[in-house]
Amino acid sequence: GESVGLHLPTLSVQEGDNSIINCAYSNSASDYFIWYKQESGKGPQFIIDIRSNMDKRQGQRVTVLLNKTVKHLSLQIAATQPGDSAVYFCAENIPGTYKYIFGTGTRLKVLA
């Protein structure tokens, strides 16, 4: 289930199930979006990106969906594994710059 902590929402899923992590972005003009995975004590690791002219992109075990109408981004992880446990951040590229705005993040906990 999903719960909201003091700062970081947490999603708990059973190993082998699919995970869906959601993100609302702020700027309707943003044209590039990225998902990152951050493990404890490390920097964010690139997972997958998508441009605004697409609404879906698939990688290995991951799919990103973009809904520009409601400014919503989701990351789907198939067959979630213990190694997927981490904090996941979405980021949107600020139009006209190379700067990112990061979402608040979601902690994914994979239960054995």
Partner 1 sequence: GAVVSQHPSRVICKSGTSVKIECRSLDFQATTMFWYRQFPKQSLMLMATSNEGSKATYEQGVEKDKFLINHASLTLSTLTVTSAHPEDSSFYICSAKEGAGGVPQHFGDGTRLSIL
Examine residue 6 and tell whether it contacts partner 1 (CB under 8 A): yes
Examine residue 34 and tell whether it contacts partner 1 (CB under 8 A): yes
In the bound state with partner 1, the residue whose beta carbon lies nearer, of 13 and 23, is: 23
Q: How far is the CB of 39 from partner 1 (least distance, A)?
A: 10
Task: Write the burial class of residue 78 (CB in 10 Å: 0-12 exposed, 13-18 middle, 19+ buried).
Answer: middle
Examine residue 18 and tell whether it contacts partner 1 (CB under 8 A): no
Question: Between residue 76 and residue 105, which ones bind partner 1 under the rule CB under 8 A?
Answer: 89, 93, 97-100, 102-105
**Footprint of partner 1 (CB under 8 A):** 5-8, 31-32, 34, 36, 41-46, 49, 51, 89, 93, 97-100, 102-105
